[in-house]
């Protein structure tokens, strides 16, 4: 236990949190505490770790790269790991995505996407500025990313800084047409620059799943109105939803796509925002005012790029898709027993992501139930961080059926008095 630590932790209310375990080693799907206790990482350390912690080929690639490069300024200079990574990303994504802009977190990838969209419209002479987003969306914690996210307890103190966006209702099952009509209506009312979506599943908003056909229809409406579609695949990318990227399931090509988290297998921070040629071209001019003015010191860190290249090689050379399918099957079988269990509702799954809601009176994010559930699992050496009353599992792909079964047993053992 760390006491009197100067560290201020993210999304952590120190006044009530209690013990914060110090992790001294990671291995596969496990976190090892200083006292030797091992904790099963059922949420891939905030959704980043894909193949497993310290996945050997990625760690080796990092070690090798440190013999050649550290950080190199990326304005006016380039380096082989970034060039090669950009080429490979272009090769594995739809051919319409032609350019890769590097940054270092999901939030910055989203900021870049929004700035690209606005730059595109301004430099094309139309000056569209209005952005649309889904209710319950989460796109990160920087000001622009918060602006397009759901307003609520997460960002209430910062509302004066956030810009207005148009909100579309989440496409709940059976009410999808409301979302599509709202999108069409919003696009008719005023010029819209872009729609940003988390494809197929809203993560931090509560693991809310919607149909690929709805995403495809949203893309069609956007195209009809000339509205740019931004796919935030920060959480959904790298196999989480069963395919490499969620957009594949809807057969759509976004104008701008954001990837991070599993891009390096989750080992190092890195993000990319891919865009179609027209967006790059709108910024391409003798007029230097049309430069894309975004950078961060660590843009395209070579070691992080090397980790990402190693990750792509893992995807090419190992049966990652089979592992994902096997993991999804374990979820499907395990979830079945909860469908008739009256303690739970909305039992759902998308690829490697499983979720169910505990039936409670107060289900808000700040409801007491969240921390109580968290403690229930931690007491059983499992890292599960419910979103309010939503329990979800998003484990690394190396997780075994036995490891996952143990978590499902812990869910079944829930006896929360509420
Ligand atoms: N977009 C989505 C869909 C996310 O789930 C997240 C993080 N969970 C982000 C953006 C922000 O990513 P980061 O925390 O790396 O800034």
Can you tell me whether residue 345 is helix, strand or coil?
Answer: strand
Predicted local confidence at residue 417, as pLDDT: 61
pLDDT at 278 over 90: yes
Residue 415, pLDDT score: 84
Whether 245 shows a pLDDT value over 70: the answer reads yes
Q: Ligand 1 centroid to 337 CA: how many Å?
A: 31
Q: Whose CA is closest to atom 7 on ligand 1?
A: 140
User: CA-CA distance, 180 to 308, in Å (whole number)?
Assistant: 36
Q: How far apart are the CA of 110 and the centre of ligand 1, in A?
A: 8
CA of 140 to the centre of ligand 1 (A): 5
Mean pLDDT (whole number) for 62-82: 98
Closest ligand 1 atom to the C-alpha of 107?
16
Q: Tell me the per-residue pLDDT of 152-167, one tens digit each, with 9 for 90 and over.
A: 988 999 999 999 999 9
Q: Ligand 1: which residues within 6 Å by Cβ? A: 47, 105-107, 110, 138-140, 198, 203-204, 232, 234-235, 260
Report d(CA 377, CA 250) in Å as an integer: 35
Q: What is the pLDDT of residue 367?
A: 74
Q: Per-residue pLDDT for 1 more than 60?
A: no
Give me the residue spans of the domains in the chain.
14-54+319-412, 60-317
Domain 14-54+319-412 matches domain 60-317 at the CATH topology level: no
Hey, which of 134, 203, 237, 238 would you mutate to test ligand 1's pocket, going by the most ligand atoms within 8 Å of its Cβ?
203
Residues 6 or more apart whose CB falls under 8 angstroms from that of 227 comprise 132, 187, 192, 193, 194, 195, 221
Radius of gyration over every alpha carbon of the chain, rounded to an integer in angstroms? 21
Query: Could you give the count of Cα atoms lying within 13 Å of 208 in the half-sphere of its Cβ?
Result: 16
pLDDT of residue 65: 98
pLDDT of residue 368: 83
Ligand 1 closest atom vs CA 203: 5
By the 10 Å C-beta count (0-12 exposed, 13-18 middle, 19+ buried), 76 is classed as: exposed
User: Does 411 have pLDDT greater than 50?
Assistant: yes
- Name which of 25, 27, 20, 15 is nearest 5 in CA terms: 20
Query: For residue 106, how far is its CA from the centre of ligand 1 (angstroms)?
Result: 4
Question: Which of the four pLDDT bands, split at 50, 70 and 90, describes residue 95?
Answer: very high
Q: Is the pLDDT of residue 52 over 50?
A: yes
- Ligand 1 centroid–CA 161 distance in Å is 19
Q: Which atom of ligand 1 is nearest to the CA of 110?
A: 10
**Ligand 1: distance of its center to the CA of 139 in Å?**
5
CA of 51 relative to ligand 1 center, distance in Å: 19
How much of the chain exceeds pLDDT 90, in percent?
A: 94
pTM of the model: 0.97
Per-residue model confidence as pLDDT tens digits over 284-301: 999 999 999 999 999 999
Q: What's domain 14-54+319-412's architecture? A: Alpha-Beta Complex (3.90)
Architecture of domain 60-317: 3-Layer(aba) Sandwich (3.40)
pLDDT in tens, 306-339: 999 999 999 999 999 999 999 999 999 999 999 9
């Amino acid at each position: 236990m760390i006491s009197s630590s100067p560290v201020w932790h993210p999304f952590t209310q120190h006044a009530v949190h209690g013990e914060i375990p110090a992790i001294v080693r990671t291995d596969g799907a496990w976190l090892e505490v200083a006292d030797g206790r091992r904790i099963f990482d059922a949420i891939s350390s905030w959704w980043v770790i894909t193949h497993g912690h310290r996945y050997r080929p990625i760690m080796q690639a990092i070690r090798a790269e440190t013999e050649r490069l550290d950080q190199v300024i990326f304005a006016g200079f380039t380096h082989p790991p970034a060039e090669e990574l950009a080429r490979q990303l272009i090769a594995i994504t739809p051919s319409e995505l032609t350019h890769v802009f590097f940054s270092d977190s999901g939030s910055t990838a989203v900021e870049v996407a929004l700035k690209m969209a606005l730059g595109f419209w301004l430099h094309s002479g139309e000056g569209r500025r209005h952005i649309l987003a889904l209710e319950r969306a989460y796109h990160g914690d920087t000001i622009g990313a918060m602006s397009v996210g759901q307003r609520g307890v997460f960002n209430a103190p910062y509302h004066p800084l956030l810009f207005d966006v148009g909100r579309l209702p989440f496409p709940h099952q059976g009410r999808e047409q409301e979302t599509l009509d709202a999108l069409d209506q919003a696009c008719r009312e005023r010029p819209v620059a872009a729609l940003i979506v988390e494809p197929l599943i809203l993560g931090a908003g509560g693991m809310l799943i919607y149909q690929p056909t709805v995403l495809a229809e949203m893309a069609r409406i956007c195209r009809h109105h000339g509205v740019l579609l931004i796919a935030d695949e920060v959480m959904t990318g790298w196999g989480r939803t069963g395919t490499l990227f969620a957009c594949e399931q809807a057969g759509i090509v976004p104008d701008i796509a954001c990837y991070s988290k599993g891009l390096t297998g989750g080992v190092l921070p890195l993000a990319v925002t891919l865009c179609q040629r027209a967006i790059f071209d709108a910024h391409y001019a003798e007029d230097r005012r049309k430069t894309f003015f975004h950078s961060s010191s660590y843009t395209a860190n070579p070691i992080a790029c090397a980790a990402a290249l190693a990750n792509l090689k893992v995807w090419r050379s190992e049966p990652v898709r089979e592992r994902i399918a096997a993991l999804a099957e374990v979820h499907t079988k395990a979830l079945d027993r909860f469908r008739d269990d009256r303690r739970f509702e909305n039992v759902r799954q998308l690829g490697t992501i499983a979720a169910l809601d505990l039936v409670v009176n107060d289900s808000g994010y700040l409801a007491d139930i969240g921390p109580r559930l968290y403690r229930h699992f931690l007491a059983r050496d499992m890292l599960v961080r419910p979103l309010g009353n939503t329990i979800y599992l998003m484990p690394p792909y190396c997780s075994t059926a036995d490891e996952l079964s143990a978590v499902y047993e812990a869910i079944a053992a829930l006896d929360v008095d509420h």
